[in-house]
A and B are shown apart, each in its own frame.
Chain A
């Protein structure tokens, strides 16, 4: 099977080429079939490899194949090569599986759009790049995928480019991502140079890993922090998260596939892939966990005061990504990937559900104009409800297992502060998700009569992917049932060859150095591993989730006036949160305006004065010299003849007089 792993990314590339070249000339049915079939074939190959993995002993679950040399220079060479191990195959299954459902959904959702072939071309290109990112066996190929998905994200956010807001959002996403990518690229170069100074010129994961011990701790910290800078850009963490909410300008299935389920998780995948480097630097790990926790809470709080249904989901995505970073930051890589997978199911579903709501509501996005849709679009409501339960962490749903695992890993690693933030955020998540659910589907309908008249359930091509994802959100967590609940945590065990046995306890000692609060809790630390504590914490987090849901119920169903009173009482605070803490404005003043100022300076002074001055000055100089010299050119033939004779006399005179003198 190892010889065929390159097929996984190749199928979407073929789909991209076919649709890109022929899409405009053929029917929409053909385009949709080509795109979906390409992803389906990739999914089949991934599934076959996964099946084969299950029948191999864990240590041999790694397929690597170099197709050809890409760059060769002396001892150094970068191949176009692919590597499938337990981690990659899970990513492949998520990308192609969720991707396939979203492709099918899109075929219904985008059916009346004139850009239909272009849409599927981009979508296939995206899946190709994403698969390149997760299957590449070296950092450079990963970086190609990394940049490729950024490009597709830009193209798809700005899909309706005739809208100013959409094209601006696309540019914003691209530029903010580039800032992070710059860090990522610097990290690759630093890693390359530092390993090179030990005589190892390589970028392949399989060669970096055994040689990582050659690097000094400080270098590893810098490298991993630079990589993490890349991850904050791609995975929308503080401080580079600002692009993701704006990315909602794109078509809704795009938000679902790229900005919820797959691309934004690339940062988490990257950290998990380079876990051997991250584990060497406790400082970076702490930074990752802290940023993750802060992002989770910060984004969740913004989610409280947004009325745009997609924006609430966008902030929720940022928040959930924060959870994943908490997991990888405390060394629980497998748990991070676990949450990545369940999140792909339920967040993909939430976005598709939002798309279905928009479809029903004639494109309406404002929750204030919705309500009471429960009876009118029952399938959307049902699936949305399951997704909300999953993300809120209600026992039995997929989100519960992964989120609770993260909380437990954070707690048992000794990161008390981070655990506290994450636990509170879990309650906040339940609140804002049910706020969304209640104000969209419950109560009375606040839509205009005209919109109300049109409300209808989406066609089957859209509802079937919803139902499949709902099923996955429901059962997806059972692959990772923790020991405490009588499970075997098969998910973590499956990933063990990549991450090694769960390491989170090892980092506990180092954590205390950074976390002041954890010192205060040191007495509690003794009881870390006791299973009753784990169970108690689990119950606690469930209680927190239910409190969140109850508050949402109180606010948005029982006493609908309560939010208004609340807003009036804390109008200043509410205003700040509603405007996203004015972060966009602050960034605009601090960075955009100062960069524009520098740009204007470069234009007006450096370019227009200095550069143009040099160029024009050369011209003026030549003209000045010419205006003097032109006087010799009288146009009289005899003048020229005289000049020639004079010259001849001088030359001959010189030759005659030279021997004498």
Chain B
């Protein structure tokens, strides 16, 4: 069944997911939602890797996915910790209210 689906459709799904993630990351105000959107983008990339690996009969794509998932997990841990600290400081995690780096 898996092999019935054409490769292009995997890539199209990956592209759609990535775009949804990117638009969400840019437009949403809540930092946690932004974070979830970034996870969505990462997983879109993972899907593209897996599909490519399958098509090319190579394990390389799968290995990449393992690394990306590990990094994503680490990122989630660190990112959430940062949000906690930011919330303590600013009483909000709305990204449009956090502009300490304004030049």
Residues on A lying within 8 angstroms of B by beta carbon are 629-638, 641-642, 645
Contact = CB atoms under 8 A, between A and B. Distances in A.
Contact of A638 (B26, B101, B102, B103): B26
Contacts of B25: 638, 641
Contact of B103 (A630, A637, A642, A645): A630
A637 B102 contact: no
Given A638-B27, A638-B96, A645 B102 contact: no
Nearest to B95: A637
B47 interface: no
B100 interface: yes
A638 B101 CA distance: 12
Contacts of A632: 103
Given A638-B95, A638-B96, A633 B27 contact: no
A635 B27 contact: no
B26 A642 contact: yes
A633 B101 contact: yes
A459 to B, nearest CB: 81
A636 B95 CA distance: 7
B98 interface: yes
Contacts of B102: 633-635
B98 A637 contact: yes
11 contacts: A632-B103, A633-B103, A634-B99, A634-B103, A635-B98, A635-B102, A635-B103, A636-B95, A636-B99, A642-B26, A645-B26
A631 B103 CA distance: 7
Contact of A635 (B22, B26, B100): B100
B50 interface: no
Contact of A645 (B22, B99, B101): B22
A630 to B, nearest CB: 4
Interface string B77-103: 000000000000000000110111111
B95 to A, nearest CB: 5
A331 B22 CA distance: 100
Contacts of A638: 25-27, 34, 95-96
Contacts of A630: 103
- Sorted nearest first, the 8 A-B pairs with minimum C-beta distance are A635-B99, A633-B103, A635-B102, A630-B103, A635-B101, A642-B26, A637-B95, A638-B26
- Chain A: interface secondary structure? helix
A139 B85 CA distance: 78
A520 to B, nearest CB: 92
A641 B96 CA distance: 13
Interface residues of B, number: 13
Contacts of B96: 636, 638
Interface in B9-47: 22, 25-27, 34
Contact of A641 (B26, B99, B101, B103): B26
Given A635-B100, A638-B34, 9 more contacts: A630-B103, A632-B103, A635-B102, A636-B99, A637-B95, A638-B25, A638-B27, A641-B25, A641-B26
A634 B98 CA distance: 10
Nearest to A632: B103
Nearest to A649: B22
Contacts of B34: 637-638
A484 B96 CA distance: 114
Contacts of B95: 636-638
A525 to B, nearest CB: 94
A641 B41 CA distance: 13
B1 to A, nearest CB: 32
Contacts of A631: 103
Contacts of B98: 635, 637
Nearest to B27: A638
Nearest to B31: A637
Contacts of A642: 26
Contacts of A633: 101-103
B31 to A, nearest CB: 8
Nearest to A631: B103
Contacts of B103: 629-635
Nearest to A648: B22
Contacts of A629: 103
B19 to A, nearest CB: 10
Contacts of A635: 98-103
B100 to A, nearest CB: 6
A642 B102 CA distance: 16
B18 to A, nearest CB: 10
A337 B34 CA distance: 99
Contacts of A637: 34, 95, 98
Contacts of A645: 22, 26
A371 B27 CA distance: 108
A633 B34 CA distance: 20
A629 B103 CA distance: 9
| B22, B34, B103 pick with most chain A CB within 10 angstroms | B103
A638 B35 CA distance: 12
Contacts of B99: 634-636
Contacts of B26: 638, 641-642, 645
B30 to A, nearest CB: 11
A309 B99 CA distance: 84
Nearest to B38: A641
A630 B26 CA distance: 21
A633 B101 CA distance: 7
Contacts of B22: 645
Nearest to A642: B26
B35 to A, nearest CB: 11
A636 B25 CA distance: 12
A645 B25 CA distance: 10
A632 B102 CA distance: 9
A637 B25 CA distance: 10
Nearest to B41: A645
Nearest to B103: A633
A118 B103 CA distance: 61
A631 to B, nearest CB: 7
A638 B34 CA distance: 9
Contacts of B100: 635
B80 to A, nearest CB: 16
B36 to A, nearest CB: 14
A442 to B, nearest CB: 91
A645 B20 CA distance: 13
A406 to B, nearest CB: 84
B41 to A, nearest CB: 10
B56 to A, nearest CB: 21
A538 B23 CA distance: 118
A632 B25 CA distance: 19
Nearest to A640: B101
B62 to A, nearest CB: 24
Nearest to B102: A635
